[in-house]
Amino acid sequence: MASYNLDAIKAALSKGEKGGGTAQKTDGKKNVYWKPTLGTHDVRFLPMPTTTGEPFLRVEYYEKLTERRFIAPSCFGLPDPIKDQFAVLRKSKSKEDWNTTKNLRPREKFYATIIVRGEEDKGPQIWELTPAIRQKVYDILMHKDNVDEDMFSPEVGYDFTVTISPVLENGKPKTFNGYPMKEYGLQPRKKPSVLSKDKNQAKAWLDGMPNLEESMKQFCYPPEKLIEIMENYIAGRVSGTGGAGASSDEDGTDHNPASTSTTKANEDKLDDAFSSIM
């Protein structure tokens, strides 16, 4: 059985369907994230079972409402007052409402589980992919020369060479928000190979794959916290202070689950704030 579903990938690419699905449960070990550096790296994608058949997990983030980005619970089917308000405001014909919605639209990232050659001692690592990198991988998987291959197979799959170089402008590294911009190249190796010549090691890696969905879901804010964030954001726009602004951190994820008490007063204040701009 293939590690991924080509029809699911094709649908996501051609129809813009947002996939990723649900990662299967594992033993819940602490996740290790790969932070790629400039240069060339060889990685092996591990087959990640998902409900859609796509090989990567999709996660949406709100990036403009607080100093650090945070997960949109709606991508996991959880209550999300921010998404609800976005749906309401985008139907409005008010220019002010449209300006408000700009920061309410979440941005998506994709997550792969990989083995980094030369870092096998770290075991399975998580690589956060931008939509552009995910597109590069899917284009390779969907190429006519590869459609009959299971490129993520532990037995007959392929390592991928990842080349990371700086984006240059007038001969100098280009930056965005103070961080150097990087360009990614991705190319499968010419010959297939086993995940590991040590079958016990390969099995340990596959059995030790993290449960990404459960890991991500634990960092979702409860509805009351989202209402508080929205209240502060709207209050900032109404007063002209501009709200929270963009994240100043490159990875910027708020991984501190919050627990604030739900109050009807918070909901009423949020409704009043929206009424003042609608």
Q: Count the neighbouring beta carbons within 10 Å of the beta carbon of residue 116.
A: 20
Q: Summarize pLDDT for 80-114 with one digit per residue, the tens.
A: 999 998 888 878 777 777 677 788 889 999 999 99
Cβ neighbors of 212 (< 8 A, separation 6 or more) are: 23, 31, 48, 57, 111, 113, 126
Confidence grade of residue 275 (pLDDT, cut at 50, 70, 90): very low
Nearest one of 42, 21, 23, 39 to 31, comparing CA atoms: 23
H helix runs in 16-103, sequence order: 81-89, 95-101
CA distances from 94 to 13, 68, 101 (A): 33, 28, 11
Q: What is the predicted pLDDT for the residue at 106?
A: 93
Whether the CA torsion 74, 69, 32, 41 is positive or negative: it is positive
Question: Residue 59 and residue 22: Cα distance in Å, rounded?
Answer: 10
Whether 117 contacts 41, CB under 8 Å? yes
Half-sphere exposure of 194 (CA within 13 A, CB side): 9
User: What pLDDT digit, counting tens, does each position of 141-155 carry?
Assistant: 999 999 999 999 999
Token reading at 157: 């799959």
Domains within the chain, CATH numbers bracketed? 6-59+107-217 (3.90.198.10), 79-103+221-250+258-277 (no CATH)
CA distance 186 to 160: 7
Strand partners, 108: 60
Q: In terms of C-beta density within 10 A (0-12 exposed, 13-18 middle, 19 or more buried), how is residue 39 classed?
A: exposed
The string of pLDDT tens digits covering residues 10-26 is: 776 665 544 344 343 44
Please state, for a pLDDT cut of 90, what percent of the chain lies above it: 50
pTM of the entire predicted model: 0.75
Contact between 45 and 136 under an 8 Å Cβ cutoff? The reply is no
What is the number of other CB atoms lying within 10 angstroms of the CB of residue 58? 20
Handedness of CA 110, 245, 261, 268 (dihedral sign): negative
Tell me: the pLDDT tens digits for 178-211?
888 999 999 999 999 999 999 999 999 999 888 8
* Tokens, residue 274: 């929206």
**Lowest-pLDDT range of 155-169, 218-232, 264-278:** 264-278
